[in-house]
Amino acid sequence: MKKIKHPSGIEIFGTFIFLLLLWKGASVLIGLPILPPPEIVIPKMIQIFPDDLKIHLGYSCGRVLLGMGIAALVGAVMGYLMGMFPKFNWILSPLLYFTYPIPKVALLPAVMLLCGLGLLSKTLMIVLIVIFQIILTVRDAVQSLPTENFYLLRALGANPWQIFREIVFPASLPSLLTAIRLGLGTAISILFFTETYGTSYGIGYFIMDAWMRMNYPEMYAGIFLLSLCGFFFFFMVDQLEKITCRWQQSPR
């Protein structure tokens, strides 16, 4: 099985510095207020964080965690059922294939009409968009397991729960975490879109509000903070994978 090698702290720090230098170079090259340099944006972000950005970040992180939590739980359960039991797969696959290609963002007006402009509609949009890739990834990971892996436990009289606990879940966990990692990026993008409608809190609202006021340092401060938020979520999933999938880690 292919081993996974996560980037080291030095590699992450080096990439961060490179991106800052790239940002600085682009700012100098453009030479307009629409792209302020990092030495203006980052102090601005630190300055306004305690009184303003902290509140918006709290709302955004709460929405992402709630939406991803529901999507991961429901999606994983459906994916495991479809992967382990052909009847579930036979029933749910046509429905999945029919609804998955629908552009979920186009459903935002209907979701807001039905669920209002608050937390429910924003959470539901994240769930609707992320859950499909989790279901498909988990189902395919389970179905790709070699059938001979199950022979011994079945010969010993193991029930489906024991087979799931001893073989299916450990073997498919890396794929589930990968789906969650990819889903987090999608969830943050969708969150930004949903927070521009019907709310006064959230990083998406903060960025658009700063843009409308032509306050570009604050706008980029919000974008930078949202990027850091996404990096933190990715980092936490990586740490979870290191703890739960030690057998798959590549030695340094």
Strand runs (DSSP E) across the chain, as ranges?
none
Average pLDDT, the chain: 86
Confidence (pLDDT) at 7: 66
Distance CA 65, CA 1 (A): 31
What percentage of residues in the chain have a pLDDT greater than 70? Answer: 93
Confidence (pLDDT) at 4: 58
pLDDT at 237 over 80: yes
pLDDT at 98 over 90: no
How many CB atoms within 10 Å of residue 240? 14
What percentage of residues in the chain have a pLDDT greater than 90? Answer: 34
The structural domains of the chain, ordered by start, are 9-248 (1.10.3720.10)
Q: How far apart are the first and last CA of the chain?
A: 17
Indicate the DSSP class of residue 104: G
Closest CA to 71 of 172, 242, 203, 190: 190
The region of weakest confidence among 79-83, 98-102, 151-155, 227-231 is 151-155
pLDDT at 66 over 90: yes
Confidence (pLDDT) at 1: 47
Instruction: Say which residue, 1 or 170, is predicted with more confidence.
Output: 170
Which of the four pLDDT bands, split at 50, 70 and 90, describes residue 248?
low
Ramachandran angles phi, psi of 4, nearest 5° = -105, 135
Instruction: Say which residue, 115 or 26, is predicted with more confidence.
Output: 26
Rounded average pLDDT over 116-145: 89
Tens-digit pLDDT profile for residues 165-206: 888 888 889 899 999 998 898 888 888 888 887 778 889 899
